[in-house]
Amino acid sequence: MFSFVTRSTGLQRSLRLGTCISIKQMQAVCGDKKRYASTSEENRRIPKIYTKTGDKGFSSTFTGERRPKEDLIFDALGTTDELSSAIGLAREFCIDSGHSFTDQLDKIQCVLQDVGSNIATPRSSARDSHIQKTKFSSQAVIELERWIDSLTEELPPLTNFILPSGGKSSAALHVARGVCRRAERCVAPIVRSGETDPEVARYLNRLSDYLFTVARYAAMKEGNAETIYKRPE
Ligand SMILES: Nc1ncnc2c1ncn2[C@@H]1O[C@H](COP(=O)(O)OP(=O)(O)OP(=O)(O)O)[C@@H](O)[C@H]1O
């Protein structure tokens, strides 16, 4: 028999994964949205954000496995979350400056939710249904490449090493780029061990190039000079 309690608990866990909730996954956990919407008043009570189940230094993957919090999976999941937060902050500066590319940053934050879903579903404990629901599409990499190429067409060629600079939007995008490269380092070992989809690593690798390019683009559009590396005297 369908047990909403079990599914609701799963949804709460999924929602608390933070980086790994997507509509696809919510529907996966809830069965479907209609079913979720038609639950009784009692079941619709707002759940507490804390379950205390993580207090002893262990947490759950989306496949239901318990692992220590220092596990490579949580490291990669947490760093992807930091990356999305860094992009979110940069996006706020970019909106204030009226940049045209903020919808790209929105889209990237959504894709990073899917990256989180993939990471939170280690292949060694995933069932076929988990794998299908959290499959990461290579389409997102192609889209990033298109954006990079189009922004690059407007930029003057790079002739020097530039330092993170060029105004608040640009500098914040460089911070996000640094976090992206850290996320890439965290993901590398879990891709190598077969736990995570290699497309996730490709996406993060391309995303740091996008963030570098869009940081330069933001500086250019705002008329801000980028600081050029000079050998210290
Ligand atoms: N420190 C962490 N860094 C990255 N990911 C984490 C961390 N702790 C938990 N997670 C992942 O994020 C999800 C949501 O985090 P949450 O803090 O709610 O988990 P928890 O600590 O196990 O539970 P609770 O906070 O209710 O005791 C977890 O199910 C787990 O997959």
**CA pair distance 132, 173, nearest whole angstrom:** 33
Nearest CA to ligand 1 atom 16: 16
ipTM above 0.90, yes or no: yes
More confident site: 3 or 37:
37
> What pLDDT sits at residue 10?
47
More confident site: 21 or 83:
83
DSSP state of 58: E
Q: Which atom of ligand 1 is nearest to the CA of 53?
A: 27
In the reported structure, the alpha carbon of residue 110 is separated from the centroid of ligand 1 by a whole-number distance in angstroms of 20
pLDDT, average across residues 55-75:
98
In the reported structure, the alpha carbon of residue 17 is separated from the centroid of ligand 1 by a whole-number distance in angstroms of 6
Which residues approach ligand 1 with their CB closer than 6 A? 13, 16-18, 50-55, 59-61, 69, 74, 77-78, 120
Q: Among the ranges 16-30, 42-56, 124-138, which has the highest mean pLDDT value?
A: 124-138
> What pLDDT sits at residue 41?
60
Q: Which atom of ligand 1 is nearest to the CA of 52?
A: 27
Mutate to test the pocket of ligand 1, among 20, 59, 69, 118 (most ligand atoms within 8 A of CB): 59
In the reported structure, the alpha carbon of residue 61 is separated from the centroid of ligand 1 by a whole-number distance in angstroms of 9
**CA pair distance 115, 136, nearest whole angstrom:** 7
CA distances from 29 to 24, 64, 130 (A): 9, 12, 10
Hey, CA dihedral for 48, 53, 58, 62, is it positive or negative?
A: negative
> What pLDDT sits at residue 42?
56
pLDDT, average across residues 202-217:
98
B/e letters for 153-178, b = 16+ CB within 10 Å, e = fewer, are: eeeeeeeeebebebbbbbbbbbbbbe
For tokens 């038609």, what's the residue? 38
**CA pair distance 158, 112, nearest whole angstrom:** 29
**pLDDT higher than threshold 80 for residue 49:** yes
Tokens of 31: 């069965």
Nearest CA to ligand 1 atom 13: 17
pLDDT tens, 10-43?
444 555 454 444 433 443 333 333 334 445 665 6
Give me the chain's average pLDDT, please. 87
- 220: amino acid identity, one letter: M
In the reported structure, the alpha carbon of residue 137 is separated from the centroid of ligand 1 by a whole-number distance in angstroms of 25
pLDDT, average across residues 90-112:
98
In the reported structure, the alpha carbon of residue 26 is separated from the centroid of ligand 1 by a whole-number distance in angstroms of 17
pLDDT band for position 92 (cuts 50, 70, 90):
very high
